[in-house]
Structure 1
Amino acid sequence: MAQPEAKSESVGTVIIAGAANLAIAAAKLVAGLISGSAAMLSEAAHSVADTTTELLLFMALRRGARPADARHPFGYGKESYIWAFFAALFTFVAGAGFAITHGITTILVHEHSGDFLVSYVVLAVSFVIEAISLGRAVRQVRREARRWGTTGRRYLRLTADTTVKAVVLEDSAALIGLILAGCGVALSELTGDELWDGIASVLIGVLLLVVAATLAYSNLSLLVGRAVPERLQGEIERSLAGLPEVTRVGTLFTMQLGPEDILVAAKVDFRDEATGADIEAAADEAERRLRERYPEVRYLFLDPTRSMPGGARAAREPEPPIEDGPVDPGLR
């Protein structure tokens, strides 16, 4: 799949998720106000947080896709992680904060809820809409996982495309939150005790905390400058070491510059007999090989340097067998 197509698919996934959350937020708010249910109002806050998150993720995709310029020679890929981090913070503060606070208030005050029927209707409709949104995101994850010969779970855990990860986690949390809200409303109606409604609201808040913390940690790691996973780094090293003019790869550095941009820098020990022209040809061949296999490798820098004996693992040293097939560079 071409990279622009992948970006377009991610944009579509985010837009659909945002539109679904906006419609659901309005319905939940009306239901919460009519019924007085803390869980329903918490779910409304949840959907508002998710809608704002989708807007921020859309900004992440658009801003991060801008081409490199003189002031930013490596492009704007890392900016996508900044906006995605803001999205995680908003979920943490607005969604989780409101749900937990309102839930505790309900537990302490035991405010009486009104008509429950409207809550059940809205919860059921919301569940269907959220399931449709999640289904699209899951299909994208599965397509990408099949493309790179890995599992959907592994792809979701290690991919550098945090926007897709955010949509899947948030939609999954939304479905779980709807179930919690439904249980809280039903138990409150059956027992006549608003304690259950409040507990459901607090649990929804805790769920949002977990999602927000997971996404924030993932984006912070990428903002700091995360290397590609060790397995991919080993494959890049072997690819460089396989060049005829290369004796050894002394040091290899990699960095994820964006969801689809990788920087590779290496100190390479060339054969003593290699001429300047040989080294230039080897560097061109290395770039061609890597970009052919991994289009995400946008920048490659080779430093001809004699390696210290024993300073790095020999490139041609036998490697343990790899169990999985080739995987997305962001997934190793």
Structure 2
Amino acid sequence: MPEAGAPKNTTEAGVPTEPEERYPEAPEEEHPGEEEPSAEDQRTAVTVLVALAANLVIAVAKVVGGLFAASPALLSEAAHSVADSLNEVFLLASLKRSRRKPDSRHPFGYGKERYFWSLLAAVGIFVMGGCFSFFQGIEAFRSEGSESHTGYLVGLAVLGVALLAEGASLVRALLQVRDAAKAAGRGMLRQLRAGDDPALRTVLAEDSTACLGVVFALVGMALHMVTHQVVYEACASLLIGVLLVYVAYQLAKESRGQLIGEAVDPALRRDIRGFLDGEPEIDAVTTLLTMRMGTRSTLVAARVDLVGGLDSEEVEEVLVRIKQEVTRRWPLADQVFLDVTEATVHDRIRAAGERRHLDAAVAAEAQADRES
């Protein structure tokens, strides 16, 4: 044992030791909060809420009318509306969660949440809408049921109201797409293909298929009423199922591409490359990579060969200035990385080929806009 009066931090031999250091525990990282929603996000939220309200009312009406009329086509449309209602909830969640600010676990932010929830919406359309419609169609083929005259009228009235409600929601979504296309200087078809807002694209796809699905159900029920053959409603259910499966596949395909990592449109890539090529300190841009990180965030990474004669301090100043200028000109390009490299002859040839490819892609899009 240490002698009495010996320092507390000693060994048994009386050799003093370093006092044990006490490191404070690292505080848990507080959530950095959310960014303020943009005006476009607010418009999209209103569009989604309008679609949700319409689908909830229509779903209840279709279920009641379908059970009363014993109509497979109407019940298929009810499943379609239920799926759409659930999907709107997914889209509202995506609008909120994608606004969270970057943190240590997600340094590039949460913008891709929109693509994830849009993928879930596509799965919901496939499972709850498409598969149930196929089930209703097959069951109708097996049955020999017939509807009363009152049942026909109730079913047709419900579908007529549904068509008006879905049409109103579709018109609102189309107006928002038109305004976004006008602001971006694009045609409406190109704006839809660009997929800048997956929530809006999903609502538009849902409303479009809902209107077409209601038309199928109306035709099927009307033919059933005239011929007393349930095969027409069964075929209508199967057509609705095929339509929903196709739309779900297209939406899932778009979301998959954006989740994996998708470049921005060729016109923006060409503009950024042209700006970098025009900087006097840059001799060559050997590689330009872009990736959407969300609806309001884009990663830009470029390998550049600088002109000779710059010292290390000048190189740093040039890179900082160019990054700031890229973000100022294109606010969406908020993540800019420049890698200084020495360009080889092969790099310059490849870069020239990429520029020609971008020019051709931009020209093709412009031609498509003129045709549309």
Q: TM-score range by the shorter chain?
A: over 0.9
Render the CA deviation track for 1:24-53: whole Å, top value 9, x for unaligned.
100111110111110000000000000001
In the alignment, the residues of structure 1 paired with residue 160 and residue 182 of structure 2 have an alpha-carbon distance, to the nearest angstrom, of 32
Match of 2:337 among 294, 297, 301: 301
Contact kept, 8 Å, 2:37 with 2:99, in 1: the verdict is no
The number of equivalent residue pairs is 324
Structure-1 residue corresponding to 2:125: 91
Distance 1:317-1:169 versus aligned 2 partners, 3 A rule? closer
Q: Which runs of 4+ in 1 moved over 4 A?
A: 314-325
Cα RMSD of the aligned pairs, angstroms, is 2.0
Distance 2:234 2:355 in 1: 61
1:156 to 192, 195, 203: 192
Whether 1:17 and 2:51 are equivalent positions in the alignment is yes
Is it true that 1:234 corresponds to 2:280 in the alignment? no
Show the counterpart of 2:310: 274
**CA 1:69–1:316: 2 relative to 1, 3 Å:** closer
**Distance across 2 between alignment mates of 1:286 and 1:9:** 34
Q: Which residue of 1 aligns with 2:21?
A: none
Aligned to 2:280: 244
Shift of 1:315: 10
Give the corresponding residue for 1:73: 107
Using the aligned pairs only, state the percent identity. Answer: 38
Work out whether residues 52 and 88 of structure 2, in 8 Å CA contact, stay in contact via their aligned partners in 1: yes
Is 1:28 aligned to 2:62, yes or no? yes
Length-normalised TM-score, structure 2: 0.83
Distance 2:271 2:320 in 1: 18
Secondary structure of residue in 2 paired with 1:70? coil
**Alpha-carbon distance in structure 1 between the residues aligned to 2:131 and 2:353:** 51
State the secondary structure of the residue aligned to 2:334: strand
Query: Secondary structure, in 3 states, of the residue corresponding to 1:116?
Result: helix
Larger mean CA deviation between 39-48 and 58-67 belongs to 58-67
Matches of 1:302 and 1:103, distance apart in 2? 57
Match of 1:225 in 2: 261
Relative to structure 2, which stretch is displaced further, 226-235 or 267-276?
226-235
Please say if residues 72 and 237 of structure 2, whose CA atoms lie closer than 8 Å, have aligned partners that are also in contact.
yes
d(CA) in 2 for partners of 1:286, 1:117: 68
* Residue of structure 1 in register with 2:28 after alignment: none
Q: Is the 8 A contact 2:91 2:199 kept in 1?
A: yes
Please, which moves more after superposition, 29-38 or 289-298? Answer: 289-298
Cα distance in 2 for partners of 1:208, 1:290 equals: 42
Deviation at 1:182, TM superposition (A): 0.2
Distance across 1 between alignment mates of 2:339 and 2:222: 67
Deviation at 1:317? 7.3
Distance in 2 (CA, whole Å) between partners of 1:91 and 1:304 is 47
What runs of 5+ residues in structure 2 fail to find an aligned partner?
1-35, 367-372
**Partner residue, 1:313:** 351
* 3-state DSSP of counterpart to 1:310: helix
The answer to whether the aligner puts 1:194 opposite 2:236 as a matched pair is: no
Structure of higher CA gyration radius: 2
Q: Out of 36, 45, 49, which is 2:79 matched to?
A: 45
Could you tell me whether the CA contact under 8 Å between 1:110 and 1:195 is conserved in 2? no
The equivalent of 1:328 in structure 2 is none
* 1:6 lines up with 2:44 in the alignment: no
User: Which residue is 1:119 aligned to?
Assistant: 155
Which residue in the other structure is 1:330 paired with?
none
Are 1:141 and 2:183 an aligned pair? no
Shift of 1:217: 0.4
> CA 1:32 to 1:6, structure 2 compared with 1: closer, same or farther past 3 Å?
same
Q: Measure the CA separation in 1 of the matches of 2:73 and 2:354.
A: 60
* Paired AA for residue 282 in structure 1: V
Structure 1 residues 6 and 223: alpha-carbon distance in aligned structure 2, compared to 1, 3 A threshold: same
Worse-matched range after superposition: 226-235 or 122-131? 226-235
The one-letter code sitting in structure 2 at the alignment partner of 1:280 is E
**Contact residue 227 and residue 255 of structure 1 kept, 8 A:** yes
Mapped to 2, the partners of 1:254 and 1:57 lie a distance apart of 25
TM-score (norm 1): 0.92
Contact 2:48 2:203 in 1 (8 A): yes
Deviates further, 248-257 or 169-178: 248-257
Secondary structure in 1 matching 2:147: coil
Give the Cα–Cα distance (whole angstroms) in 1 for the partners of residues 302 and 131 of structure 2. 46
Residue-by-residue CA offset, 1:97-122 (whole Å, 9 max, x unaligned): 00011111101223222311111111
Letter in 2 for 1:27: A
> How far does residue 18 in structure 1 lie from its aligned partner after superposition?
0.9
CA–CA separation in structure 2 for the residues paired with 1:153 and 1:3: 26
Structure 1, residues 45-98: CA drift from partner, whole Å, max 9, x if none? Answer: 000000001001111111111111121110011122111111110110111000
Quick one: distance in 2 between partners of 1:269 and 1:6?
Answer: 38
**Paired position in structure 2 for 1:102:** 136
1:258 to 294, 297, 302: 294
Of the two structures, which has the highest relative contact order with CA contacts closer than 8 Å and spacing of 6 or more?
1
In 1, the alpha carbon distance for the partners of 2:37 and 2:340 equals 31
1:315–1:295 CA distance, 2 compared to 1 (3 A): farther
